Every structure is written in structure tokens, then in C-alpha cells.
Structure 1
């Protein structure tokens, strides 16, 4: 999402970040039509195609490109989803999308129609797994009556645990949980506790936030965004950190910051 796609030095830097991520062992890259209205998917093709065998490029559908000055509307109509899936297949130059996620559920369209459309593509071999984003526990339960849900992508972090119940539901069912915005903007300044644990492990506050997520549950797979090679290396290195039980308990006890 953070990778610049416009022509020039910024695009070249984005390509270098994507390529370096794979070199460092990253095996999942999360993109979406909404990220540049297809431009982010095309950037990843330029950087990584043909894709390594162990790389999963996940993308998302169900957001419509807005007109000038408008907000991007959710659109879960079957005909729109079919068009978006076919366009994603073409842009990513694949015959099968390994993980196709609903960017948002459309409250105006029956859930069975939305997910049933993706299931048709799955049965046709054009989608490997189906994922959801920004759902409640009840929506997840309803969706699982229609399709096999492989992943859920909700906002969640050390300082933002609003969707704790959804993570618990995913943990219980063995569903991958991909927290977006996994490093809360206030993580570096919110509490002395984060700074203290970071000092103990010779790490940054952001790395502690990622390590906490990875320690939270085996189904958690954070998707931190970056446009910097240095920041990328920092994020990847967080996977090697190990929290002690005492450090984990201290971080668990942190209260999320309040607005204002």
C-alpha cells in the first residue's frame, strides 16, 4: 500500500523494496485493487514476475474506484466482483490467485451472493483461498457457512485491540489472522513499557509491537507496510525477537491510548 507507483526514482525504489523483501524470506505480499487502482498489482508484476514458487501474492476486491472528490464505495454485486477478479488475474499475470480477499463486505448485497461468486471462481480453479477483511465475529460465522474462510484481515495491534474477539475466533478455528496497521502510530511514544522492553532486547518500539503480535497466536501474520529498505529490514528482523513470559505480561497490560 505504501509503495509509490508513479514513474521515476520513487517507482524504482518501490521495486527494490519488493525484490529485497523476497530476498529476505518474505513469502506473503498483500496488495489490492484499491492500492493505486491496479497500479500496485502492476508494480509487483514488474518487480517479481515470474513469481518464486513459495511466494503468495494476495489481493483484494469489492472496492469501486470513486469519482473526483468522492469516497471509494464498497461494491459486492456479483457482476462487479467477477469483473474485478478477472482484471486482477490479468494484471497479476496469473491463472490462479492464491488468496483473494473481500476488501469489505457489502451490506447492500446478500452475503451468499458475494461469497458465492468467489466460490464459483474457486471451483473453477481461478482462486485458491478466500479471505475476509474488517469483519465481526458474527459475520465470520455467517461467512463460514458459505465458504471455507482461509484468512481474516482486521485492524489490530499492541495499542489497538478492538478486534480481539475476532482474533480469538480465528485462533480457535485455525484461520490466518492478518492484522493491518500492525504497528500503531503511537507505539513509539505511548508508554514507557514498550521502550523498556525494546531496550532490554536491543530493538525498536516497532519491532516490539511486531514481536508481540507474532507471540500472540500462531495464526497471526502481520502485514507491515514500508517504502524503505532500512525499514523493511527492521520489520523482517522483528521475526527473530523472542519475548519472555514476563515481558509479554508487561506488554499485555498496556492500555491503548485514547483520542484527545
Structure 2
């Protein structure tokens, strides 16, 4: 199993990365986290070889006092030459949560990400649509065309789509190259396997969000525990190793606000699942 992937064909990406969503707060409505803890996690991630960080300008604490992009800039700028920062646009923060924005909202969102991260160009920008499940039957063409124009201006290097179905992905690919898809997928939630197959065939990165269940799904199935016992590993480590074994295009981005948890997640890089393991996990 290779440990790297050429994102967009030209960005050498270590396949086990880091998701920044949990840095400002654990869950919506909960208190903001200590910003220094977030900065410490980010620094340690890079020290341990992470070069793919997934974020969004709307990853903020409930009161706005802790902001994932600001933490990334404070902890890591000037950025290492090989660091890849991916972000998402589309959703609009409201007092009651996130609502879906329009194509007119996308340029301000891209510019906000550039400013908060302290960058002149974003490595990868996903158009995120819908809420928790893909909005079947909804066109993303107008919004994706807006992002494609921003890419032509030089503000974005590569484009991605998030929370999409097969039709959305095909629609986007008629407009501009799609470098990555970010959909809900993990060892206990495999509904997006067909999208993963499409990405594998096309050489498009597949980046599962909530790769460890997101606190919403229990991934500690007896089969996972059985394989974990063989490797003297945790269920989470086996779940990450399983994701990376599914396809050479899969990039995992587990998030945490704990250095110890970060180190445990990254230890999954040393696990090679056997055919017996994969049969048990199937």
C-alpha cells in the first residue's frame, strides 16, 4: 500500500492527513476549545509528517472566538513548501447552523479563506452542497462554474466537490477537472462505495468526512475488535488502516484536539491489513 497520492496530479499528498473541524469546539453548541491546544496539535501533526490539512472558514467556535483557519495560520505560517491546505465553500453560517449559499456567495467565501489562512492561492477548494446527505436532483453547475472561474483567475489550484452523488460528480466534471471528492464514508457506513469506485477509476482523490464515525456512529464492531486484537491496535487505528486499504486514491483526515489522540491516529500508518483481516472486515 502506497503512503502517498498525487492530488490533482501534481501535489504529493501523504494519505493520512488531518481534519481541523474539531479544533474550535467539539460539537456545535459546546464551549470553545483552548486555542493553544489547537495550535499544539497542528504543530505536532506537521512534525509527524502530515502534509494535508482539511479546513473551512466556517469552522469556528460558537462565539466566534476560536477559528480553525486562524489557528492554522498562527501555528504553521510561514507554511512548509509541501503543506497542502484544503478548504470548503458553499455553506453559510447562521445563528441556527449552516444554510446553503448561492453562487454569489462563493467569491467572498474564497477570499475569506485566503485572508484567514494568509494565502495568495488555495491548494484545493471543495464545493460543499446539501447538509448531511447529498441533495439528489439538485444541480451544482452554476456554483461550480463560479469556482472554475476563480480557478482560472489563479485564486484556486484544484477543485473538489463534497456531499455529492454520481450525477453531481459527472456534472462537475463537464465544467472543470475535479481533483477530489469528500463524502461521508467509514468502516461502518459504506453507502458511498460506488462513488469511491468512480474516483478510483478516474484517479480522483476520495476523502471521507467523519472517517471514524464523527461521534455519530459506533465503529467498534466485533470484527473490528477482532482485527485490532491481531495487530495490538485500537479500533480507530484499524478503521483508518481499512480506509487506506480500500483504494490508492483514499485520503483519510481524522480530526482531534488532543496531541495524544493525534499520535494514536497517525500510528495507523504502520498497520498493513492482511487478506484475512480484510475478509473479516468485509
Q: Same-fold call, TM > 0.5?
A: yes
The answer to whether residue 245 in structure 2 is matched with residue 221 in structure 1 is no
- Find the counterpart in structure 1 of residue 47 from structure 2: 23
- Find the counterpart in structure 2 of residue 187 from structure 1: 219
1:158 to 181, 187, 194: 187
Structure 1 residues 146 and 237, CA, compared in 2 at 3 Å: closer, same or farther?
Answer: same
TM superposition shift of 1:225? 0.8
Which structure would you say has the larger Rg?
A: 1
Question: What is the rounded CA distance, in whole Å, between the counterparts of 2:52 and 2:235 in structure 1?
Answer: 23
Question: What is the rounded CA distance, in whole Å, between the counterparts of 1:147 and 1:156 in structure 2?
Answer: 24
Higher helix residue share: 1
- Find the counterpart in structure 2 of residue 258 from structure 1: none
Q: Give the 5 Å matches for 1:10-49.
A: 10-36=34-60, 39-49=67-77
Question: What is the rounded CA distance, in whole Å, between the counterparts of 2:130 and 2:33 in structure 1?
Answer: 36
Aligned residues between the structures: 247
The answer to whether residue 54 in structure 2 is matched with residue 59 in structure 1 is no
Q: Give the 5 Å matches for 1:221-260.
A: 221-252=251-282
The answer to whether residue 226 in structure 2 is matched with residue 196 in structure 1 is yes
| SS of equivalent to 1:222 | coil
Question: What is the rounded CA distance, in whole Å, between the counterparts of 1:109 and 1:7 in structure 2?
Answer: 35
CA contact (8 A) 1:130 1:148 kept: yes
Q: Deviations over 1:88-115 (max 9, x none)?
A: 1111111100001112269798533211
Q: Deviations over 1:195-220 (max 9, x none)?
A: 11111111101000000110110000
The answer to whether residue 129 in structure 2 is matched with residue 97 in structure 1 is no
Higher strand residue share: 2
Question: What is the rounded CA distance, in whole Å, between the counterparts of 1:166 and 1:180 in structure 2?
Answer: 14
TM superposition shift of 1:64? 0.8
The answer to whether residue 149 in structure 2 is matched with residue 124 in structure 1 is no
Structure 1 residues 194 and 8, CA, compared in 2 at 3 Å: closer, same or farther?
Answer: closer
The answer to whether residue 98 in structure 2 is matched with residue 72 in structure 1 is yes
Write out the 4+ residue segments of structure 1 that deviate beyond 6 Å after TM superposition: 5-9, 106-109
TM superposition shift of 1:4? 2.9
| SS of equivalent to 1:149 | coil
The answer to whether residue 240 in structure 2 is matched with residue 210 in structure 1 is yes
- Find the counterpart in structure 1 of residue 199 from structure 2: 170
- Compute the RMSD of aligned alpha carbons: 2.2
| SS of equivalent to 2:126 | strand
Question: What is the rounded CA distance, in whole Å, between the counterparts of 2:102 and 2:196 in structure 1?
Answer: 24
Unmatched runs of 5 consecutive residues or more in structure 1: 253-260
CA contact (8 A) 1:105 1:111 kept: no
Unmatched runs of 5 consecutive residues or more in structure 2: 1-20
Q: Taking structure 1 as the reference length, what is the TM-score of the superposition?
A: 0.89
Question: What is the rounded CA distance, in whole Å, between the counterparts of 1:161 and 1:128 in structure 2?
Answer: 30
CA contact (8 A) 1:76 1:109 kept: no
